[in-house]
Structure 1
Amino acid sequence: MGKMLIKNARIVNENSIFEGDLLIKGDLIEKIAANISDDTAEVIDVQGRYLLPGVIDDQVHFREPGLTHKGDIASESRAAVAGGITTYMEQPNTTPQTTTIEKLEEKFEMGARSSFANYSFLFGGTNDNLEELKRLDKNACSGVKLFLGSSTGNMLVDDEEVIEKIFKNTEMVISAHCEDEGTIKRNLAEYKAKYGDDIPVKYHPKIRSVEACYLSSSKAIALAEKTGTRLHVFHLSTGKETDLFRNDIPLEQKKITAEVCVHHLWFSEEDYDTKGTLIKWNPAVKAAEDRDRLWKALLDDRIDVIATDHAPHLLGEKDNVYTKAPSGGPLVQHALPALLEKVREKVISLEKVVQKMSHNPAILFQIEKRGFIREGYFADLVVVDLNAPYQVTKENIAYKCKWSPFEGTTFKSTVTHTFVNGHLAYENGNFSAERRAKRLTFNR
């Protein structure tokens, strides 16, 4: 088992920053101390840069199987590693959908063959697969995903009786996309009557409105409270929804939790004029006031996790009239640099970024030995330089789709090294061809 010694790091972990060294043996962290010497170890001197636990992204769409012209597990997990994401949870709306145990295991086989980052997959609930869901072992995967609003892949679950049965029969975390379908359909019909298919994209947050989000998430929360279900609400996009969540108890005691995505923290409806359909997501990027309230709830711990909802499409697909342009965009390579920009602007602390992007996903999904810099834990680690500016260009984008909503943005911080299970998977723009990723295990 090889050894690697990281010297002269500023280690960010569990709400503190301290200077020290870290010794990796095989795939685990063996020792953390102020000064470590080991003549048998390969030494990497990070010269005072920050060492973070690898980011755990609880919501990505890597498009495999069936949609691999947009992205695949190999290409998108490689881009994730370049962005400091060492672990991801991929969503079930592929082709075919991950709605049977057989299809779930086929995805795990794909991950084992192709992934550069640690992986798990969510099992998709539908209107008619309750019996299959009941057979699912609680440690089989990261959780269950319900689309309570329609999105890419047509996996809408709209039978309220079925939803309640799923809530009652699931031991794992249920992660939900919450938008009210009836509200969206009425809004869309109103704007189509006025504009046809070529609706100005600035009306996207009026169609997929605050009311659509709040109605769905509040109903899901009420049902979770009634049934005692462990509910995680994906990608909050409105200020109004933040009032539905608690911050008066520790995360470990919460039965209902929430996530916010990078794009809802960065963009606002003012950006539609310049970005157009490139920032068309479901749920929609909304008003600056919503963004401000999302930040407030993130900082006061009503929102527990920051994720990406990475969902690539080709530029030719996005460059379309409103009703034909798909929702979603690629984000895994640039999510951490975007948050580090907010650290530099003193919007959020580096310790809080680590809490929301590494610690909390590990706690929330009960992931075994990941998400923290601790002796005996897997050596999933990221080195960042907060004083190394770079501009996002087509030449340095790693996504298969070769574009980013951040294209042209200059970030002042750079991911310099990413370790996956003790393996140096990425260093200063260079990728290792070797894959050392593992399937996630859980303490449930």
Structure 2
Amino acid sequence: MSTLFTDATLADGRVRDVLVEGETIARVADAGTLDPADAHEIVDCDGRHLLPGAIDAHVHFREPGFAHKEDWHTGSRSAAAGGVTTVVDQPNTDPPTVTGAAVDEKIDLAAKSLVDFGINGGVTADWDPDSLFERPLFALGEVFLADSTGDMGIEADLFADAVARAAAEDTVVTVHAEDADLFDRAALERAGDGVGRDADVDAWSAYRTAEAEAAAVERALAVGADSGAAIHIAHTSTPEGIDAAGDAGATCEVTPHHLFLSRADLDDLGTFGRMNPPLRSEERRKAVFERVADGTVDIVATDHAPHTRAEKDASVRDAPSGVPGVETMLPLLLREVREGTLDLERVRDLVAANPAAIFDVPGKGRVAEGADADLVLVDLDSTREIRGDDLHSKCGWTPFDGREAVFPELTLVRGHVAYDARGDDEAFGDAIGENVRR
């Protein structure tokens, strides 16, 4: 099968015809120069934008062990509806992905995925690096320097050993950087007894301090330098952490919730806004946004971490950390393009070109001849409100409820339709996702 996209506006503003043959982009040519007779299907883009599919380098699809929160089918549907064509799953499942057998189990579960995927291997005291590195890993990580969901925080000696092993295997190490010794436990003790949206969740932000992140980033970078390892800092929430990574020549990511939400939103969110690292001050949020816009930040990734409403509707001490985000990342960034606060080429790089380069996935992240036909068709003139009930994650809620966003009309994964909202009813494709390390 072949599909011809005519008069498609690319992220850099060029208007092109794009011919997809099978699973690959076969031709990219000046508009009006490709023969429609060469294609089985014609998609008249009529000035709409054709973008490379987003790569979300940080998701938690919760299988095995927590499928009541999310599974590979629901998570990948949510990804496809948000223009994400590749996801990278993190290891804090049950069992944790710290052995070759656990990687094999997760790859089998991912056969339900509508989008392509990578599997990260994790590190605990019980990890088996020999069997782990025999498998087709995407990267090593998320390696936790402090406990989060799954209680996978590790000691300094084990972290150094793991980084050295990853360096020997020429594998990127993704680090969850928080130093628990710098947490303000007194702040958490001051939290009230409210639950859900009545809880004083700002105590969580005061507890897991910005200083704890910055110190852990610097420690991780120093260990990486000693071993010659490539360090990628996950979900940096502070300008200090971003700057430290940049100064050391490491890469970092920022999440949409740290980009668009701050402690000022916690009165409305309550414990639905509890995550690790936590939301920061509005001043820090603005500084993080500036670094995303100016090119200091390498990628945006969601840390998609769904929990049920019942689980989140607890006290600030008991509610699990994390929010969903895989379906709303690209739509929120495209809204910023509409508003003139982000450049479309910058968004393309943040969610597609840069993650493909950092993690060495050469077939992804670009609209170019020979690349995988991972494509997203969007109309920047068409917006709608984000509503949790309209999204496709199993958890059924979002911290961005009520915000305007630009959602995809069509998402292709290697030339296969994964999501189509061009008709009266949206439609999803089949589970054709493959391991990008195949």
Correspondence for 1:53: 52
1:191 aligns with 2:185: no
1:394 to partner: Cα distance: 4.1
Correspondence for 2:420: 427
1:342 aligns with 2:336: yes
1:214 to partner: Cα distance: 1.0
Contact kept in structure 2, 1:237 and 1:260, CA below 8 Å: yes
Correspondence for 1:90: 89
Correspondence for 1:378: 372
1:261 aligns with 2:260: no
1:355 to partner: Cα distance: 0.4
Correspondence for 1:71: 70
1:441 to partner: Cα distance: 2.6
For the residues of structure 1 that align with 2:293 and 2:407, how far apart are their CA atoms?
Answer: 23
1:408 to partner: Cα distance: 2.1
Out of 140, 144, 148, the residue aligned to residue 145 of structure 2 is: 148
The one-letter amino acid paired with 2:63 is: E
RMSD: 1.8
1:311-326 to structure 2, matched below 5 A, reads 311-326=305-320
For the residues of structure 2 that align with 1:399 and 1:440, how far apart are their CA atoms?
Answer: 23
For the residues of structure 1 that align with 2:81 and 2:264, how far apart are their CA atoms?
Answer: 29
Contact kept in structure 1, 2:100 and 2:134, CA below 8 Å: no
Higher mean C-alpha displacement, 334-343 vs 54-63: 334-343
Secondary structure of 1:244 counterpart: helix
Higher mean C-alpha displacement, 49-58 vs 133-142: 133-142
Question: CA 1:49/1:441 → structure 2, altered by over 3 Å: closer, same or farther?
Answer: same
Secondary structure of 2:147 counterpart: coil
For the residues of structure 1 that align with 2:89 and 2:146, how far apart are their CA atoms?
Answer: 18
1:243 to partner: Cα distance: 2.1
Question: CA 1:220/1:394 → structure 2, altered by over 3 Å: closer, same or farther?
Answer: closer
Structure 2: unaligned runs, 5 residues or longer: none
- Render the CA deviation track for 1:24-58: whole Å, top value 9, x for unaligned: 11100011111211324211112110010000000
Aligned length: 425
Contact kept in structure 2, 1:59 and 1:90, CA below 8 Å: yes
The one-letter amino acid paired with 1:45 is: D
Correspondence for 2:433: 437
Question: CA 1:166/1:394 → structure 2, altered by over 3 Å: closer, same or farther?
Answer: closer
Correspondence for 1:117: 115
1:197 to partner: Cα distance: 8.2
For the residues of structure 1 that align with 2:191 and 2:151, how far apart are their CA atoms?
Answer: 26
Contact kept in structure 2, 1:237 and 1:264, CA below 8 Å: yes
For the residues of structure 1 that align with 2:272 and 2:190, how far apart are their CA atoms?
Answer: 24
Runs (4+) of structure 1 exceeding 3 A deviation are 134-139, 193-199
1:174 to partner: Cα distance: 0.4
The one-letter amino acid paired with 1:416 is: E
1:20 to partner: Cα distance: 1.0
Identity of aligned residues (%): 33
1:224 to partner: Cα distance: 1.1
TM-score by length of 1: 0.92
Contact kept in structure 1, 2:188 and 2:204, CA below 8 Å: no
Question: CA 1:348/1:433 → structure 2, altered by over 3 Å: closer, same or farther?
Answer: closer
Question: CA 1:190/1:274 → structure 2, altered by over 3 Å: closer, same or farther?
Answer: closer
Correspondence for 1:417: 410
1:390-409 to structure 2, matched below 5 A, reads 390-409=384-403
1:22 aligns with 2:21: no
The one-letter amino acid paired with 2:188 is: Y
1:435 to partner: Cα distance: 2.4
Secondary structure of 2:121 counterpart: strand
Correspondence for 1:355: 349
Question: CA 1:401/1:434 → structure 2, altered by over 3 Å: closer, same or farther?
Answer: same
The one-letter amino acid paired with 1:260 is: V
Out of 342, 359, 363, the residue aligned to residue 365 of structure 1 is: 359
Secondary structure of 2:418 counterpart: strand
Question: CA 1:193/1:49 → structure 2, altered by over 3 Å: closer, same or farther?
Answer: closer
TM-score by length of 2: 0.93
Contact kept in structure 2, 1:197 and 1:323, CA below 8 Å: no
Contact kept in structure 2, 1:245 and 1:302, CA below 8 Å: no
Higher mean C-alpha displacement, 160-169 vs 379-388: 160-169
The one-letter amino acid paired with 2:235 is: H
